[in-house]
Amino acid sequence: MDYQILLFYKFVPVADAVSERDALLEICKQLNLKGRIIVAPEGINGTVSGLVADCDAYRAWMDAHPLFAETEYKIDPFEGHAFGRLSVKARAEIVTLGHECEPWEKTGKHLEPAEFKAMMESANPLILDIRNDYEFEVGRFKGAVRPDVKTFKEFPDWLRTVIEPGEERPILTYCTGGIRCEKLTAYLVDQGIENVYQLHGGIVTYGKDEQTQGEHWEGVCYVFDDRVTVPIGPNVTPVTRCLHCGVEIARFINCASVDCNKQFTCCEACEEKFSRSCSEECIHSERRREENGKLAIELRSERIKLRRQAYRARRKERLKAAQCAANAALTEPTIS
């Protein structure tokens, strides 16, 4: 295949995230890469797609960077771009937890795939899935605890209900590529929990490892690009069923109604039979991608308009806060 998908992150102190964002945006544009990259004071997190030569050039650029050298990559071949556009942003966190921690200083103990598999089999561990609930639904390790969360920042509160005080069992954590485990186990270590481990390289690496070959994994792995899900290992055991006919299937699609856009499991036969729709209402929706060529342009215009409105609202709030602070400073009594 002529294209690749790169999945990568690195926790490292970044002094000027905005400048780094600008440099990353420029090199990605030069190389015609598409995808999402976030840079923050705590590091970089991204997934991009592009021609193999362009992906190689990007990795060479990163390797020469004083902060991002030695970044690890998960690389998958693909038939084209896996993303529709490029987004490079500077934010407060590369993965939003809402708690300060320093994974480059201390984090959960890394286990290679074979070590993780051995500990699952012999140590009676507490296995925690550090992903959102909908990711768990389409695939997970046998015996893993289902995360009762919708977003990553809900994990600290949820873990208090799962990890008993004085828990003596080893705590095994896993996520798609490793970044969420890296940060959450750093938080757990900060909370005084020492017997916590993480799967190095995440589910993606476990599925490619020659020794493990995805053993003990059920279903598929949810990914945040046009593939939606990927197999883990050579043998896929479906844990989900087609929404329409009930056949066991590990296949996700998006509803063709843009006002719905629900992701649901669907076999190929039912995708054709029900016009790639999740309900009778969506079948008859007027705002369907494949039936209205002008709709994509209209939707992009709507999104741009909404983003501009949100930006203006945030700017207005910041100016208001700054004015309030200035007024407060003027009215503070002076000490003579």
Single-letter amino acid code for the residue at 292: N
CA–CA separation, 158 vs 19, rounded Å? 36
To 10 degrees, what angle do helices 52-63 and 17-30 make?
150
Task: Catalytic residue, from 28, 175, 221, 267: name it.
Answer: 175
What SS3 class is residue 301? Answer: helix
Residues with Cβ within 8 Å of residue 229, at least 6 apart in sequence: 138, 139, 220, 221, 222, 223, 250, 251, 252
**Which residue is associated with the tokens 């909370």?**
191
Residues with Cβ within 8 Å of residue 243, at least 6 apart in sequence: 264, 265, 266, 270, 278
Phi, psi of 44 (to 5 degrees): -135, 145
What SS3 class is residue 87? Answer: strand
Q: Is 278 known to be catalytic?
A: no
Pick the closest to residue 96 from 135, 148, 40, 48 (CA basis). 40
Single-letter amino acid code for the residue at 316: K
Characterize 169-207 residue by residue with b for buried, 16 or more Cβ atoms within 10 angstroms of its Cβ, and e for exposed: ebbbbbbbbbbbbbbbbbbbbeeeeeebbbbbbbbbbbb
CA–CA separation, 38 vs 44, rounded Å? 6
Active site residues: 175
